């Protein structure tokens, strides 16, 4: 090799090298065609470019959350119409997971609007993990902050993934959430990783952040001791009653650039096109798939927000000749 220090974003760059802010920014600023070409090339080297992993998300405990995430309709700080519920019973969760499997999901994600799970809820969470796992699905939970012990308990129950988004850059984080810190988030991610659970962590575009915040968010994720296996990139759905109800929409090209950058900076991670898909055109989603997104949530709702639903997704995947990944294809 002529160049002993391959440029980030080339196929020789590995995810183990630390990314610098300048290298990430240089990629982001490339002419759009060059950025997409590079991202798609790296995508092809690491994944079948025509496979999309499908997950389904169930809200197992809705609303009344003591955190003040500015984008969220489930925060008790916001005047939204979301009614707080108790934790769903395990039998209902398992029945819903069975339906999700029939619809083609390979991963079942369960989310609770908590700051962190209470000790009294842990047994129910364990039984949900065990029950969903017994169906042959991958399991994912998103329950807020986890202690080291809780992460180990859920790992022993068979939890495959834990979702805990860092949302944005460390600099912008206090504009989004004030009831916990960016470091709190990283601490939970460390507990999850140490317990041997795979990490799902990403963020949201459209909170009022600058491009530099979006790039810094990816830098934080890519420079973790191990990058997340799954990186959800959300486009804000402005929720009525939330602090960000009137946020300006994200520019589509800027959004696709961040998908491409995520692919380049975390070549072996699943980049997940998450919230906001209902308001994305099919053409925008197609560009995102080309840029390196290879995972979506299926179903009509995503927590409390709308999601495209089976008919539109089936049609989109068919038109793009994309194939849903099956359980047998899991690595």
* Residue ranges of the binding site for [4Fe-4S] cluster: 65, 69, 72
Strands 305-306 and 301-302 turn out to be antiparallel
Q: Residue 69 or 235: which CB sits closer to ligand SF4?
A: 69
Site string (245-274) toward ligand SF4, x via CB under 6 A: ------------------------------
Number of residues located near ligand SF4, criterion CB under 6 A? 8
Residues in Cβ contact with 249 at an 8 Å cutoff, skipping those fewer than 6 apart: 206
272-299: burial string, b at 16+ Cβ within 10 Å, e else: bbbbbbbebeeebbbbbbbbbbbbbbbb
Q: What is the largest distance, in Å, between two alpha-carbon atoms of the chain?
A: 61
Asked if 65 interacts with ligand SF4 (CB under 6 A), we say: yes
Active site residue 140: yes
Site string (87-126) toward ligand SF4, x via CB under 6 A: --------------------------x-------------
Which of 86, 61, 66 is closest to 78 using CA atoms? Answer: 66
One residue of 69, 155, 256, 302 binding ligand SF4 per CB under 6 A: 69
| In contact, 87 and 128? CB cutoff 8 Å | no
Q: Residue 170 or 184: which CB sits closer to ligand SF4?
A: 184
CA distance linking residue 209 with residue 196, whole number of Å: 32
Tokens representing residue 126 in the block: 């364990």
Asked if 276 interacts with ligand SF4 (CB under 6 A), we say: no
Active site residue 200: yes
CA 38 from chain centre, in angstroms, equals: 22
Catalytic residue among 107, 180, 257, 272: 272
Q: Residue 84 or 329: which CB sits closer to ligand SF4?
A: 84
> What residues form the annotated binding site?
65, 69, 72, 109, 140, 200, 272
121-139: burial string, b at 16+ Cβ within 10 Å, e else: bbebbbbbbebbbeeebbb
CA distance linking residue 57 with residue 99, whole number of Å: 12
Give kind and range of the element (H or E) at residue 141: strand 138-142
Active site residue 109: yes
**Which part of the chain contacts ligand SF4 (CB under 6 A), choosing from 69-77, 210-218, 230-238, 244-252?**
69-77
One residue of 67, 96, 216, 313 binding ligand SF4 per CB under 6 A: 67
Residue 225 to residues 145, 183, 191, 220, Cα–Cα distance (Å): 19, 15, 12, 10
One residue of 72, 195, 244, 291 binding ligand SF4 per CB under 6 A: 72
In the bound complex, what is the minimum distance in angstroms from residue 180's beta carbon to ligand SF4? 8
Q: Where do contacts with ligand SF4 occur on this chain (CB under 6 A)? A: 65, 67, 69, 72, 74-75, 113, 144
Which residues are catalytic, by number? 65, 69, 72, 109, 140, 200, 272
């Amino acid at each position: 090799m002529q160049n002993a220090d391959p440029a980030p974003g080339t196929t020789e760059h590995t995810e183990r090298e630390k990314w610098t802010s300048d290298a990430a920014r240089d990629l982001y600023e490339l002419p759009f065609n060059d950025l997409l070409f590079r991202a798609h090339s790296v995508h092809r080297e690491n994944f079948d470019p025509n496979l999309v992993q499908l997950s389904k998300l169930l809200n197992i405990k809705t609303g009344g959350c003591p955190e003040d995430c500015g984008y969220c309709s489930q925060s008790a700080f916001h005047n939204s119409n979301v009614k707080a519920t108790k934790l769903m019973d395990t039998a209902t969760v398992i029945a819903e997971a069975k339906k999700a499997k029939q619809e083609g999901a390979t991963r079942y994600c369960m989310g609770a609007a908590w700051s962190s799970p209470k000790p009294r809820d842990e047994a129910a969470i364990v039984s949900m993990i065990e029950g969903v796992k017994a169906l042959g699905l991958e399991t994912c939970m998103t329950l807020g902050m986890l202690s080291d012990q809780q992460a180990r308990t859920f790992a022993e129950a068979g939890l495959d993934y834990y979702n805990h988004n860092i949302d944005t850059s460390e600099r912008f984080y206090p504009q989004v959430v004030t009831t916990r810190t960016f470091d709190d988030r990283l601490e939970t991610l460390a507990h999850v990783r140490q317990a041997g659970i795979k990490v799902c962590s990403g963020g949201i575009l459209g909170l009022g952040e600058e491009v530099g915040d979006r790039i810094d968010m990816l830098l934080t994720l890519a420079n973790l001791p191990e990058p997340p296996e799954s990186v959800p990139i959300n486009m804000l759905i402005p929720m009525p009653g939330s602090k960000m109800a009137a946020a300006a929409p994200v520019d589509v090209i800027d959004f696709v650039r961040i998908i491409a950058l995520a692919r380049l900076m975390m070549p072996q991670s699943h980049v997940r096109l998450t919230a906001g898909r209902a308001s994305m055109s099919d053409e925008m989603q197609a560009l995102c798939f080309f840029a390196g997104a290879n995972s979506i949530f299926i179903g009509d709702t995503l927590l409390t927000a709308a999601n495209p639903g089976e008919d539109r997704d089936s049609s989109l995947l068919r038109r793009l000749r994309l194939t849903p990944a099956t359980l047998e294809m899991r690595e």
